[in-house]
Chains A and B, each alone.
Chain A
Amino acid sequence: MAKRLVPILAMILVIMALYVFMLAVAELPPYGNVDNPAHNYVYEHYVNNALEETGVLNIVTAIILDYRSYDTLIEATVLFTSIMAVLITLKKGEQH
């Protein structure tokens, strides 16, 4: 009895959760609109000043390698971490 009820209950939960999701998505600022809060002074600063400040034409490059270079260092560290993780998982570590 209970075993049959559990999936049904879960289904009801999921549907209600989806409903909340939809409410949330409907609330989000309209897609692709220039006036969205996401395209605010930060965006304007990047687009207008990236060339003068960094001398790079590609603004994405300017962001990841200059404005947010600390992030990129850590991103490289993530790669390094995963390499070490794979090593410690698969390798025995004997050198000879």
Chain B
Amino acid sequence: MTFSSIACVGIPFIGAGLLRRTKSRNATALLTWLTTTIVFGLSVYFFVQTRASYPLSDMTAAIFSLISAFTWWLVSFYLPEYMKAEERSRSFFIFFLLTLGAVQGIFLANNWIVLLAFFEIMTVTSFFWVIHNQNQEAITAGYFYLFLGIAAGLFIAIGLVFINSLGLPLEIGVNLVSLSNSTLLSWAIACLLIGFGIKAGMVPLHIWLPKAHTVAPTPGSALLSGIIIKCGVYGMIRTAQTINLTNPMASFPTNTGLIVIILGILTMLLGVSLALLQSNAKRLLAYHSVSQVGYIIIGIGTAIYLGNEGSYGLAGAIYHTINHAFFKAALFLGTGIIYLRTGQQNLYKMGGLWRKFPITALLMLIAVFGITGTPGFNGYVSKSLLHHGIIEAAAVGGGLLPWIERLFNLVGVGTTASFAKLYYLAFLRKADPELEINGKENGLLIFPLLIFALVITFIGIKPELFLNKAIILALPELGVSSINNLLATNFWVGREIFNMIITLLAGISFCAIGFRFHLFHYQSPAWLSIEYLGRNFIKGLSYLGSLIERKYEQAMANLSAQAKTCYTWILNFSSRLDTSGWGASGQISFSNINFDVYLILIAFAILLIYILL
């Protein structure tokens, strides 16, 4: 750990401590901004330093730290303006900074235990973002978030316990599979993958994600989607590193990679299909976080599957992590502006907003281009890398994998369709007469969006720059050493672009068809509708839930009564032991000095006799 990395972790905590003392709202905002700025500067410095001492140092950590600090820094411009409308803004600011520190700690930790510690801190502090509004929905979502977060931490802890009990080092970046071939290690790695998968929103443990991201204040949602779930992704990358990436199919349970790929594609499909049905803008974006994390997981999966040859998958995963942070944060912040000025999150009640918010509309369009993978924007770059990866995996593996490649394209269509829907409903369509608009766009609100849009476009136009200067450097230390193909990647291949454009067109036409035939809010007879079924299903579930809850409460009451009895019993027992000869509770047992000497001598005698036995 260098000084700058420790400072990256420590300064947000110090800043959060100072925030308790600030007098005015402006001072709070300024202090927050200052802290994030310092952290951003430090992480840039750290990045540069890491690059300078390249093969010796940890590039992956530097990249993740830089991206998270950058996103935080931009959001801190947006935050004060947005939080004017919210209550208890100070506590949000404090937890904003605490979470920054924890996230930096996760990315910069060089030891699994430290990583776990910061992971837990991050869970708890970001829990306060989720419950910030303190209404029923927020609290339910918050507890979902907290419990699954703690479950994730437990899974990780169990994995680490397994690793440690095998006598393997707990340093991050050690290739564990080459040190031991015990089955316990596979369990350990499975536990780690599940633990980090929960945080990343992997199917079937993604359930907390849409709830939590919807109820948090928008800057919180942006960071939750942009960075916090990337902590899980980061953990999965680090876990992949412990599996022997340089020598893949021979060493470790061969189907690990395949399982991860299948989980990834399921995550994508589920996320995107649920996203298509949403009418709440933030919920739609949240489900897209699930599906985009699926892309990343597929990348990691291909890297595990292909091992040394999996450079496309891994580079694509890291690149998509970064890109997703940018465009998803931008999209959330854009929706936040609309929500701030109209109080509306329902897409069907918006409309025609491009007249009132022209700059927001433009910048969000760029972000939409990014997420749909339009050539010339950043999403295209990472998606084509991931696509490359999956094609290579299909070429090696065959079987299921070619189908996964097709589904991969299908998800692209779904993504485009749902964003076309979002953009059309919110901006292009005729305005809803009931929509009230108070206020306009504001420089501070627009600024982070602008920067994000610039970065999105810049990466889209010059994708090689960041790939060659940073991501490729991170690959060898992660265990993927054949990077020559990647260095020579040409993103502007006609076939790829054509493929993408086909996907886009298909998506838009699907969207148009959807609107034409009301697929997105399809009203069939009640007994047939998904909602009806769903409602009954949920009714049944809730009945079951309440039943279980009642039983659980009874059991807990029983248990606590038992525990109380037990405690009283222990108390009585020990006090009886204590007063009858061993010493008197609460008073000096001076007269027992004879007894004490006796005890010592008997102990001595027993010790002596021990050798005869």
Contacts and interface: CB of A to CB of B under 8 A. Distances in A.
A and B touch in the complex (CB under 8 A): yes
Interface of A: 10, 13-14, 16-17, 19-21
Counting contact residues on chain B (CB < 8 A from A), the size range is: 10 to 19
B1 interface: no
Contact of B602 (A13, A19, A20): A13
Contacts, number: 23
Nearest to B611: A20
B605 interface: yes
Nearest to B609: A16
| Dominant secondary structure of chain A at its interface with chain B | helix
A17 B598 contact: no
Contacts of A14: 601, 605
A10 B604 CA distance: 11
A25 to B, nearest CB: 12
A21 B601 CA distance: 14
B598 A10 contact: yes
Interface string B578-613: 000000000000000000001001101110110110
Contacts of A21: 608
B49 to A, nearest CB: 51
Contacts of A17: 604-605, 608-609
Contacts of B605: 10, 13-14, 16-17
Most buried by B among A10, A16, A17: A17
Nearest to A13: B605
B19 to A, nearest CB: 50
23 contacts: A10-B598, A10-B602, A10-B605, A13-B602, A13-B605, A13-B606, A13-B609, A14-B601, A14-B605, A16-B605, A16-B608, A16-B609, A16-B612, A17-B604, A17-B605, A17-B608, A17-B609, A19-B612, A20-B608, A20-B609, A20-B611, A20-B612, A21-B608
Contacts of A19: 612
Given A13-B606, A17-B605, A17-B609, 10 more contacts: A10-B598, A13-B602, A13-B605, A13-B609, A14-B605, A16-B605, A16-B609, A17-B604, A20-B608, A21-B608
A14 B611 CA distance: 15
Interface string B245-257: 0000000000000
A86 B559 CA distance: 56
B114 to A, nearest CB: 44
